[in-house]
Chain A
């Protein structure tokens, strides 16, 4: 019996580590290669080899000094931050009500909101463009923040509602007996309790803004707040000759911050993404 167990764990270990290696290679080979490319001098782009013959920061210098890429990174950051703050103000009260209060039509309303998650947002680009031009939001940062909300709010409500619903019952009632209004009970008791999930949601909302291409591309022009995503797209597709080394620098600059965010908050995200059966 003991021998059987031991052999099975050995097989399991081989399979486990083997599987892990395969998955990691699938992810890491592309990243490793482009990360090294970013340190090659321009002339070395033309042959395929892993290590640069001469390490060079030319591409980085070019991306920042000539392409002014840090400006677009900054734009992406503002786009993400604004999206996160706005989502917080809108979705947290809504999700609280869906999670803790009872009112007529609640279930139907909740399903309609969550169903919006499945909506193809590319459809909204046209009406948004028309509307944004009309009301002066076209080519502005607030215009972007607003546009992202159609995507963030349903997601936020979906995740936050479950969290609020699972907090201990009677807390608000207790607060109300001991001197709170309904609003104060939310503010003094429920909001502090939801801090971890709200933080996690802010990260996710930020990433929506940072990662977005669709709205940023359609709702801004070269004069306005273009984000890094759009610039990467333009650099990869727009010109006749692609400066791959510079482009790879840009992908690293735009790609690493969200990865860091994920790593910092991964435990929290894992909890956030725990889809329950109910």
Chain B
């Protein structure tokens, strides 16, 4: 604080202005500003507490119960957790969840490639191509799911037709109910749907890099690959990490596509954790178990994003120092 004040007195003062002064007297101006702050925060806080945190805490409470849709809940302690970890399908679910989260890597690859291409100065009609690329993400996921259901239909679908006619497969594959293919298909469809989100974030980051960095790199004779490593990558790392974090979390949380394409089957082969939650809640009516799975989903999400979150924080610290 003291050090900063030496550099920017005015800014520091701005920061301190709302800190309570020697609390004895209650200054009027600061008071009216306080009032504004709390009034403005109220809706946001109220919404999130009532709509997010209370239901969430209630859910945690539910996970310790046998909580049927109709009838009295019954405290069973950790029984739900024991049942879950003991069940065979649980490990199937975990495996497919991890596979499904790999979709993030695929999205990143596609997004980075497309963003780098669109960032080249010689490409014309950029905004047109950009618009086209955003299409899959702009549409409702259910719409995209329906499109792929049609394209992958074993009898009428275009994909099956071409694969057969080119001799890659010898008989139609029932993609969505095939125990081997189903989990790969939902992963691929998710990648196709959601990559533009990363693309737009990366493109924005790329466009924010000042031209002078590239000129400098060129003066020093850096080849394109070295330019990418030395200039591009450091500048988009923050955006990349943020995009990966959000995408991992959202990929795991969004259920509409697996729900629509496979319904979690065959068996539990495509029941990612979010689908499993849904199955317990709506198909078995076991809300306690649904929430047990849900909490596990949160845990898995955080385990998966933790390394990226750390990287992102490091990035922020570096940016602050600069």
Asked if A pairs with B, the answer is yes
Contact partner, B37, options A16, A103, A124, A236, Cβ 8 Å = A103
- The answer to whether A127 has its CB under 8 Å from any CB of chain B is yes
Contact partner, A124, options B56, B117, B200, Cβ 8 Å = B56
Q: Assess the B110–A23 pair: CB atoms within 8 A.
A: yes
Q: Is the interface of A mostly helix, strand, loop or mixed?
A: helix
- The answer to whether B9 has its CB under 8 Å from any CB of chain A is no
Residue of A nearest to B111 (CB): A23
- The answer to whether B264 has its CB under 8 Å from any CB of chain A is no
Give Cα A27–Cα B316 distance, bound, in whole angstroms: 34
**Shortest CB–CB separation between residue A275 and chain B, in angstroms?**
4
Which of B88-96, B178-186, B289-297 lies at the interface? B289-297
Q: Assess the A48–B158 pair: CB atoms within 8 A.
A: yes
Give Cα A135–Cα B297 distance, bound, in whole angstroms: 29
- The answer to whether B15 has its CB under 8 Å from any CB of chain A is yes
Residue of B nearest to A248 (CB): B150
Say whether, besides A120-B297, A247-B146, A247-B150, A27 and B157 are in contact (CB < 8 Å): no
**Shortest CB–CB separation between residue B89 and chain A, in angstroms?**
18
Q: Assess the A12–B122 pair: CB atoms within 8 A.
A: yes
**Shortest CB–CB separation between residue A123 and chain B, in angstroms?**
4
Give Cα A97–Cα B157 distance, bound, in whole angstroms: 53
Which of A60-68, A192-200, A256-264 lies at the interface? A256-264
- The answer to whether A55 has its CB under 8 Å from any CB of chain B is no
**Shortest CB–CB separation between residue B165 and chain A, in angstroms?**
9
- The answer to whether B170 has its CB under 8 Å from any CB of chain A is no
- The answer to whether B277 has its CB under 8 Å from any CB of chain A is yes
Contact partner, B43, options A89, A235, A263, Cβ 8 Å = A89
Chain B residues, Cβ within 8 Å of A212: 140
Chain B residues, Cβ within 8 Å of A128: 51, 55
Say whether, besides A24-B132, A229-B140, A277 and B319 are in contact (CB < 8 Å): yes
Give Cα A266–Cα B278 distance, bound, in whole angstroms: 35
How many of chain B's residues touch chain A, expressed as a range? 35 or more
Give Cα A131–Cα B316 distance, bound, in whole angstroms: 40
Say whether, besides A127-B55, A169-B11, A121 and B140 are in contact (CB < 8 Å): no
Contact partner, B120, options A12, A117, A169, Cβ 8 Å = A12
Residue of A nearest to B235 (CB): A277
Chain B residues, Cβ within 8 Å of A210: 140
Q: Assess the B201–A275 pair: CB atoms within 8 A.
A: yes
Bits for A96-119, please: 1 = Cβ < 8 Å to B, else 0.
Answer: 110001111000010001001111
- The answer to whether B108 has its CB under 8 Å from any CB of chain A is no
Contact partner, A213, options B19, B37, B51, B141, Cβ 8 Å = B141
Say whether, besides A122-B294, A254-B139, A34 and B120 are in contact (CB < 8 Å): no
**Shortest CB–CB separation between residue B248 and chain A, in angstroms?**
8
Give Cα A16–Cα B10 distance, bound, in whole angstroms: 48
Give Cα A67–Cα B207 distance, bound, in whole angstroms: 45
Q: How many residues of A contact B (CB 8 A)?
A: 101
Q: Assess the A34–B123 pair: CB atoms within 8 A.
A: no
- The answer to whether B267 has its CB under 8 Å from any CB of chain A is no
- The answer to whether B173 has its CB under 8 Å from any CB of chain A is no
Chain A residues, Cβ within 8 Å of B161: 48
- The answer to whether A126 has its CB under 8 Å from any CB of chain B is yes
Contact partner, A17, options B36, B45, B123, B294, Cβ 8 Å = B123
Residue of B nearest to A169 (CB): B14
Contact partner, A266, options B127, B142, B318, Cβ 8 Å = B127
Give Cα A90–Cα B41 distance, bound, in whole angstroms: 9
Chain B residues, Cβ within 8 Å of A277: 238-239, 315-316, 318-319
Q: Assess the B320–A34 pair: CB atoms within 8 A.
A: no
Bits for A131-151, please: 1 = Cβ < 8 Å to B, else 0.
Answer: 100000000000000110110
- The answer to whether B80 has its CB under 8 Å from any CB of chain A is no
Chain B residues, Cβ within 8 Å of A228: 140
Say whether, besides A16-B122, A266-B127, A278 and B141 are in contact (CB < 8 Å): no
Q: Assess the A48–B157 pair: CB atoms within 8 A.
A: yes
Give Cα A211–Cα B143 distance, bound, in whole angstroms: 9
Bits for B257-275, please: 1 = Cβ < 8 Å to A, else 0.
Answer: 0001001000000000010
Q: Assess the B15–A102 pair: CB atoms within 8 A.
A: yes
Q: Assess the A269–B277 pair: CB atoms within 8 A.
A: no
Give Cα A274–Cα B298 distance, bound, in whole angstroms: 27
Give Cα A193–Cα B56 distance, bound, in whole angstroms: 36
Q: Assess the A153–B47 pair: CB atoms within 8 A.
A: yes
- The answer to whether A51 has its CB under 8 Å from any CB of chain B is no
Give Cα A29–Cα B293 distance, bound, in whole angstroms: 38
Give Cα A116–Cα B43 distance, bound, in whole angstroms: 16
B147-194 residues at the A interface, CB under 8 angstroms? 147-151, 153, 156-158, 161-162, 192
Pairs across A and B, CB under 8 Å, 9 listed: A20-B117, A20-B123, A34-B150, A93-B41, A122-B294, A211-B140, A274-B239, A276-B319, A278-B319
Given A255-B140, A255-B143, 10 more pairs with CB closer than 8 A: A89-B43, A94-B41, A126-B287, A128-B51, A213-B256, A233-B256, A247-B146, A261-B138, A262-B138, A266-B127
Interface residues of B, Cβ cutoff 8 Å to A: 10-11, 14-19, 32-34, 36-37, 39-41, 43-45, 47-48, 51-52, 55-56, 58-59, 110, 113-114, 116-118, 120, 122-123, 127, 129-136, 138-151, 153, 156-158, 161-162, 192, 200-201, 203-205, 207-208, 224, 238-239, 242-243, 245-246, 249, 252-256, 260, 263, 274, 277-278, 281-282, 287, 290-291, 294, 297-298, 301-302, 305, 315-316, 318-320
